[in-house]
Amino acid sequence: MKVVDLALGILMVKCIFVWKCTYKCCLYPLYTLLSLFQSSDTSDRKVRRREKNRVAAQRSRKKQTQKADKLHEEYECLEQENSSLKKEIGKLTDELKHLSQILKDHEQICPFLHCPVNYVTVPRVTDAVPGCLPR
């Protein structure tokens, strides 16, 4: 082997050349062979990095899908709760109308509403008019 120094500005770069080899395939300079091994190592690293990146991307997509599924379930639950609350509002509105009508009907027949304010006293349960008692 022979070492040749090449001056490139201030830096000194050493290149190693193979002069003779028993194998006919080794007619390349040593740095070329080293670069072939390094590129093989680099390609292995690229493959490992791509595989690692692929796995990370799958994990990310799976996590995103799970998050979307969870949000969809929460949405459906909230929709169901909203629907039941609307039904309850409807029932309470109907009950309010019904009780308002009962009160309106009672106001027409209740003797206490027709008395002057000064004469109204709070009746005892036994003294109350049977039509004015709650049912």
List phi, psi (to 5°) of 48. -65, -40
What is the overall mean pLDDT for the chain? 75
Place of tokens 């039509």: 131
Is the pLDDT confidence value at 120 over 70? no
What integer pLDDT is reported at residue 33 of this predicted model? Answer: 55
- Of the two residues 29 and 4, the one the predictor is more confident about is 29
Is the pLDDT confidence value at 115 over 60? yes
Is the pLDDT confidence value at 119 over 70? no
Residue pair 3/14 in contact by the 8 Å Cβ criterion: yes
Residue pair 41/48 in contact by the 8 Å Cβ criterion: no
Which pTM does this prediction carry?
0.45
Give the angle 85-91-94 at the CA atoms, nearest 5°: 140
How far is CA 42 from each of CA 35, 55, 119, rounded to the nearest angstrom?
A: 10, 20, 105
**pLDDT tens string 88-98:** 999 999 999 99
**pLDDT tens string 27-75:** 555 555 556 666 677 788 899 999 999 999 999 999 999 999 999 999 9
How far is CA 85 from each of CA 43, 80, 89, rounded to the nearest angstrom?
A: 62, 9, 6
